[in-house]
Amino acid sequence: MRRTNKITLASKPTYNGYSHAFKMAIIERIENGQLSINQAAKEYDCSRSAVQKWVKKYANLERKLRNLKGKSPQQEIADLKKKLKQEQRKVIVFEAAMEIIEEMYDVDVKKKLLSDYQRKVLKDLYKDSE
C-alpha cells in the first residue's frame, strides 16, 4: 500500500525535501510583509539560509516593482523620510516668518489666526527643531 505525504505549511519535509508549493507559500507570506525571513524559519522549522535561498531564487516582488516603475517599500520609506525633512524645514521657515511678522507689526499672529490645536502643533515642532 502506497502512502502519499502531502506537505502543508505546518508539516515537516519528507526525505525528498520541501515541496515547491511549501516554498512559494512561505515566500508569499514574506513578500506580503506577514513574516520576516527569521520568523518564517522559526515558524516552519527550517533553516534561515534555506529560506533566504528560496526568497532569492523565487521571490520576484522587487523585480516586478522595478519593471512596473514602482518603488520597493524600502525606497518608498526613504522617499517619505526625505519629504518629511523637507516639510520640517518649511515649518521652521514658517515659524521664523511668523516671529518676524509679529515683531515688525507688534501683532500676535498665532493667537489671532491659528486655532489652539495649530498653535500647539507649531510649539511642539519648534521645540523639536531646537
The Cα 16–Cα 13 span in angstroms is: 7
Q: Which residue type is seen at 103?
A: E
Cell 501683532 belongs to 107
DSSP string, 91-111: HHHHHHHHHHHHHHHT--HHH
Tens digits of residue pLDDT in 41-81: 999 888 899 999 988 887 776 566 666 566 666 777 888 89
Length of the chain, in residues: 130
Q: Which residue has the higher pLDDT, 3 or 112?
A: 112
The Cα 108–Cα 114 span in angstroms is: 10
Whether 26 shows a pLDDT value over 80: the answer reads: yes
Entry pTM: 0.39
Tens digits of residue pLDDT in 73-124: 677 788 889 999 999 999 899 888 888 888 887 877 666 666 777 778 877 8
H helix or E strand, kind and range, residue 34 = none
Nearest to 27 by CA among 64, 6, 63, 56: 56
Domains and CATH numbers, the chain: 1-59 (1.10.10), 73-129 (no CATH)
Whether 17 shows a pLDDT value over 60: the answer reads: yes
Most confidently modeled range among 5-19, 21-35, 52-66 = 21-35
